[in-house]
Structure 1
Amino acid sequence: MTRPSDPDGPGPADGTAWVERSGPSARSWADEAVRQVVADANRSADTHLHVFPLPPEWGIDLYLKDESVHPTGSLKHRLARSLFLYGLANGWITEGTTIIEASSGSTAVSEAYFARLLGLDFVTVVPRSTSPEKIALIERYGGRCHFVDAPPDMYTEAERLACETGGHYMDQFTYAERATDWRGNNNIAESVFEQLTLERYPCPEWIVVGAGTGGTSATIGRYLRYRRLHTRLAVVDPERSAFFPGWVTGAPDYSTGMPSRIEGIGRPRVEPSFVPSVIDLMVPVPDAASIAAMRHLHDVTGLSAGGSTGTNLWGVWHLVARMLREGRRGSVVTLICDGGERYQHSYYDDAWVAGQGLDPVPYRAAVERLLSDGVWAPPGP
C-alpha cells in the first residue's frame, strides 16, 4: 500500500499536488558533473615545492609552492574547482546554467576551463586593465569577457548579468573562504605540510600569501589552528589595496576605491571572504618591490612568475631578515601564484613599468644585498 506522504504515490491526503524542484535527470546531470570535476583533479599531480637557494650557514630554508603548473596555470585553479563543486553540491549549478563571475583575470581563466568541461556558458566581468594574455586565455577556454572601466563596478555588473541571463553568479569574493574544506581533503595547506614531511624543518616558521579573495589565507590560517601547528601566517598586500588598512583599523568595509596594479591579490575593498582573525602578520608591499622581487626570482632560479608572487617574496625577505637578526633557524613557505607569461606586456615590460612611475632598481638592490651579506636595508620610508 502506498502511503499518502510517499512522493511516488498519488499525493498528500488532502489532495494537494506534490511540488518537485528536481527530478532524476537533473540529479543525474549533477552527479556526472561532479564526477568530471573530481576526475580532473585526479588527473593532475600535486604542485611542486621548489627550494630557493639561501646561504647554507643561515640555517633557513625557503620553499616556493609552484601553483603555476595547474592545468590553467595559477593558484586559482584550486579555487575554481572548489567553487564549481560548491555550486553543484548546493544545487545552484544545473544543466544549462550560465556561469557568471567578477574577476581580475586568473579566477576567470580557471572557471572558463571548468565551465567548458561541463558544457556550460561562461561570462566574466573584468576590469578593462586586465592583461591581454589573461583575456586571451579566458576566450581560449570558451569564455566571454564583459568589461568595466572601474573595478568596483565588477560586483554589481556581475549580479546584473546573472539576473539578466538567469545564470549563477559564482561570487568568488564571498564564497572563497567557505567553498574549500580547510580541515584537509588535499587543500593547499595539507599539501604543503605533506610535502615538507622529510625536510629538516617540516613545520615552517612562516607561510606567506597574498589576500586576493581571502580564500587561501582563510584556508591556511584555519588549518594551522585546527592542526595545532606553531606556524604563523603572514599576508602581504600591495599598494592601493584595502586589506592591510582594513586589517589595521578593524574596518570590515574598508575601501580604497582604487584599482591595484598587482593583479590577483590587491582589491579596492575588503572582500567578504577575508578572515582577518586567522592572520598573525600583515605586510604592506610597494608595487615596485613586487616587480623587483618577481624579476629577481626569474634571474636567480629561471622560474617565471607574476607580480603577486613578487609581493609574496618581498614579504618573505622581510621575515627571513627578521629570523637572521633573531638568530632563528627554520623554514619559510610561499607561493608562486601564476606564471610570468601572462605579464609580458606589463611587469616584464620596462616601458610599462616606467609608465606606471615605478622604479624597481633600489628594491632589487636591497634583495641582492640581503642575500650577499645578510643586511636588510629596504628603501624608505
Structure 2
Amino acid sequence: MASARILEDDTTQDVDRSDDDYERWLTEAIRAVDADAVRSADTHLLRFPLPPEWNIDLYLKDESTHPTGSLKHRLARSLFLYGLVNGWIRPGLPVIEASSGSTAVSEAYFARLIGVPFIAVVPRTTSAEKTRLIEFEGGQLHFVDDPRTVYVESARLAAETGGHFIDQFTYAERATDWRGNNNVADSIFTQMRAERHPVPSWIVTTAGTGGTSATIGRYTRYTRRDTRICVADPENSCFFDGWSTADAGVSCDTPSRIEGIGRPRMEPSFVAGVIDRMMKVPDAASIAAIQELAARTGRRAGGSTGTGLWAAFRIIAEMRARGESGSVLTLLCDSGDRYTDRYYSDTWLAQQGIQTASYRELIADLLD
C-alpha cells in the first residue's frame, strides 16, 4: 500500500513535541481566563458635573469596578492570554512581573485562576495597601530598593526559576487587540453612542506602560474617528521629554510619586506615533484634581486619575476660550482607597512638600 511505503521511508527528519497533558492544561487555562471577561460586566461611564450652558461634557471611564479594582485588570487578562497562546506560561512554573502595584494585583488574580505561582518584583516604596492586595490575590512579593532594577531582577528570577517574565512594559501594546474585541476603546465608543457629543474631541490617558494610549490611539484611527489623544505625564517621568524631543534614550533618576504611571525610561510599549499631545502635570495638580473629584462627586480615585483629570480640565478651558462644544473623556484608573496613607494623608503630603491649595483654586475658578 502507498501509505505503508511512505512510512517505511527513513530520510525525513521528524521531532514531535506534542504533550497531551499540557494541551489539556492549556485549553482549560485559556477557558478560565476568557470566562473572566464573560463574567465581568463592562465598567461605568460617569459624567463629571459641568455647567450645561457650556455645551461641553466631561466623562470618566470608571475602571475601578473591575474584579481586581483597576484599569490593569484588562491588561493582565490580555497579557496572560498572550503568554498562554505563545506557550510561554507553563503549568507549575511561576509568572513574574515588574510592577509598582496594580498590574501585579491583577496578574496575581489571573495566576491563581489558572493555578500557577506569581512573583511581583516591586519597589520598596510601593503603598502598603497595594502590597497587601498582591498577597491577598495569592502573589509573592520580591522587593527592590532601586525602582530602576525591577526589569533585570524580574528577568533574573525568571531565568533562575524557569518561569516566565510576563513583562508588561514590552508587551502591553501588542497583547491587546486594538481593533476591538471589547477593549477599553471599543467600550468607550459603544457607551458614548447615545450622548449629545458621541465622538469625544479628546481622550486623555496617562502612561505607565503606554499600552492604554496605544490601544485607544490605534482604535480611533482604525475606526476613522475624529478624536485626538492626549497623554498626561507626572513629575519624575521621562515620557513627556522623550516624546517632545523624539529621543527614545531619555531617562529619569527620581521615581514617580504618582503610583502606576511615570517611568524612569521610555518603555518599549510607549507608541509615540499615536499620540497627538502630551502634558507634564505637577504632582500637586494631580492630587488637587482628585481632591476636587471627591468633593464634587463623592468618588475617591488614585493619583493617576488626577493627572489625567487635570489635563482634561485644561483642555476644557481651552475649548471654552475658543467657543467650542464637544466632549472630553479621561479614565478613573483605580480607587483612592489604595492610597489613604498617601494622597489622602495630610502627613504624607506635608512630608513630600506637596501643597494643593493653589491648584484647587484654579479648578474652582474654571468650574464655578
Q: TM-score range by the shorter chain?
A: over 0.9
1:105 pairs with one of 101, 105, 112: 101
Which residue number corresponds to residue 74 of structure 1? 70
Query: Take 2:186 and 2:245, find their aligned partners in 1: how far apart are those partners?
Result: 31
Which residue number corresponds to residue 11 of structure 2? 14
Query: Take 1:20 and 1:286, find their aligned partners in 2: how far apart are those partners?
Result: 57
Query: Take 1:132 and 1:296, find their aligned partners in 2: how far apart are those partners?
Result: 24
The answer on whether the counterparts of 1:4 and 1:13 sit within 8 Å (CA) in structure 2 is no
Partner of 2:120, secondary structure, is strand
Which string of whole-angstrom CA distances, capped at 9 and with x for unpartnered residues, describes residues 15-55 of structure 1? 75x42333122111111111000101110000000011001
2:276 pairs with one of 257, 280, 285: 280
Query: Take 2:165 and 2:249, find their aligned partners in 1: how far apart are those partners?
Result: 21
1:5 is displaced (CA, Å) by 11
Query: Take 2:142 and 2:249, find their aligned partners in 1: how far apart are those partners?
Result: 26
1:112 is displaced (CA, Å) by 0.2
Answering whether residue 196 of structure 2 is matched by residue 200 of structure 1, we say: yes
1:347 pairs with one of 336, 343, 349: 343
Paired residue total: 368
1:40 pairs with one of 36, 45, 59: 36
Query: Take 2:249 and 2:338, find their aligned partners in 1: how far apart are those partners?
Result: 31
Percent of aligned pairs with the same amino acid: 62
Name the CA shift for 1:124/1:5 in 2 (closer, same or farther; >3 Å).
farther
Answering whether residue 212 of structure 2 is matched by residue 216 of structure 1, we say: yes
The answer on whether the counterparts of 2:122 and 2:144 sit within 8 Å (CA) in structure 1 is yes
Query: Take 1:261 and 1:298, find their aligned partners in 2: how far apart are those partners?
Result: 20
Which string of whole-angstrom CA distances, capped at 9 and with x for unpartnered residues, describes residues 261-299 of structure 1? 001111111100000110000010000001110111011
1:258 is displaced (CA, Å) by 1.9
Which residue number corresponds to residue 90 of structure 1? 86
1:3 is displaced (CA, Å) by 5.2
Query: Take 2:160 and 2:185, find their aligned partners in 1: how far apart are those partners?
Result: 38
TM-score (norm: length of structure 1):
0.94
Partner of 1:268, secondary structure, is coil
Matches within 5 A, 1:297-376: 297-372=293-368
Which residue number corresponds to residue 227 of structure 1? 223
Answering whether residue 163 of structure 2 is matched by residue 178 of structure 1, we say: no
Name the CA shift for 1:73/1:3 in 2 (closer, same or farther; >3 Å).
farther
Which string of whole-angstrom CA distances, capped at 9 and with x for unpartnered residues, describes residues 104-135 of structure 1? 10000000000000110000100000000000
Query: Take 1:104 and 1:281, find their aligned partners in 2: how far apart are those partners?
Result: 26
Which string of whole-angstrom CA distances, capped at 9 and with x for unpartnered residues, describes residues 75-95 of structure 1? 000000000000011111121
Which residue number corresponds to residue 150 of structure 1? 146
Structure 2 unaligned residues grouped into runs of 5+: none
Partner of 1:145, secondary structure, is strand
Query: Take 1:13 and 1:330, find their aligned partners in 2: how far apart are those partners?
Result: 71
Query: Take 1:29 and 1:4, find their aligned partners in 2: how far apart are those partners?
Result: 34
Code of the aligned partner of 1:191:
S
The answer on whether the counterparts of 2:93 and 2:161 sit within 8 Å (CA) in structure 1 is no
2:127 pairs with one of 112, 128, 131: 131
Name the CA shift for 1:2/1:177 in 2 (closer, same or farther; >3 Å).
farther
Code of the aligned partner of 2:197:
Y
The answer on whether the counterparts of 1:183 and 1:226 sit within 8 Å (CA) in structure 2 is yes
TM-score (norm: length of structure 2):
0.97
Partner of 1:124, secondary structure, is strand
Partner of 2:60, secondary structure, is strand
Aligned-residue Cα RMSD (Å) equals: 1.5
1:259 pairs with one of 243, 247, 255: 255
Structure 1 unaligned residues grouped into runs of 5+: 373-381
The answer on whether the counterparts of 2:200 and 2:326 sit within 8 Å (CA) in structure 1 is yes
Name the CA shift for 1:168/1:324 in 2 (closer, same or farther; >3 Å).
same
Name the CA shift for 1:264/1:14 in 2 (closer, same or farther; >3 Å).
same
Larger CA deviation: 91-100 vs 208-217: 91-100
1:310 is displaced (CA, Å) by 0.4
Which string of whole-angstrom CA distances, capped at 9 and with x for unpartnered residues, describes residues 183-204 of structure 1? 0000100100000011110001
